[in-house]
Amino acid sequence: YKNSVTQKEKNCCDTTLYQSRGPPQMLIRVICYLTYRGGVSMPLVCYVSERDINTPLDAERLLRLLGVSGKLSGFYFAVYMIEQVRQKPDHILLVTKRLYKQTARHFGTTSSCVERNLRTLVQACWRQPDHSLLECVAGSSLTQPPTNTQFIDMLSAYLRE
């Protein structure tokens, strides 16, 4: 989990242009080496469209990069909660009393529905075969899925950096 790692480094070392098949669209291949405590380095390769290369990372894009679909009910609940905690980090202290209720009011539903849908979203993210980006966001290796609170906390902290 994020607080257990003192420093993570992100060094982009290779950027090349890659022509995709199909319609002419320029993709940029970015290889980042993520270095964790103990000197373990891990390459992270992604292809980003030329249009999106300078777009700032927000909660919605980060969730999609983690493999979560906008078709899940909890997707927009999570986006809202991550942005709320990103702007006001103290909101993470009262998740069930404040954040779930605030989110439920915003979307016209119940706090138990928000909690359940967020739990489903976290499980959907965890079921993805590659946890490297999730572990990068967390700042350490994960052996089990994060709780709802940990998930919101680590994503909002990552976006604040």
Selection from 124, 123, 125, 74 nearest residue 103 by Cα: 74
Q: What is the mean pLDDT of residues 42-47?
A: 60
Q: 64: which DSSP letter? A: H
- Asked if pLDDT for residue 5 goes beyond 60, the answer is no
Output 65-70 pairs: Cβ under 8 A, ≥24 positions apart. Answer: 65/133, 66/125, 66/128, 66/133, 66/134, 66/137, 67/124, 67/125, 67/128, 67/130, 68/121, 68/124, 68/125, 69/124
Which region among 15-24, 54-63, 106-115, 127-136 has the lowest average model confidence (pLDDT)?
A: 15-24
pLDDT classification of 132: cutoffs 50, 70, 90: confident
pLDDT of residue 21: 44
Q: How many Å apart are CA 125 and CA 80, to the nearest integer?
A: 17
- Asked if pLDDT for residue 134 goes beyond 70, the answer is yes
pLDDT tens-digit map of 74-125 = 999 999 999 999 999 998 998 988 999 999 999 999 999 999 999 999 999 9
pLDDT classification of 160: cutoffs 50, 70, 90: confident
- Asked if pLDDT for residue 29 goes beyond 90, the answer is no
pLDDT of residue 9: 33
Contact between 152 and 95 under an 8 Å Cβ cutoff? The reply is yes
Which region among 1-5, 29-33, 118-122 has the lowest average model confidence (pLDDT)?
A: 1-5
pTM of the full structure:
0.69
Q: How many Å apart are CA 161 and CA 155, to the nearest integer?
A: 10
How many CA atoms, within 13 angstroms, populate the side-chain half-sphere of residue 31?
9
pLDDT of residue 70: 87
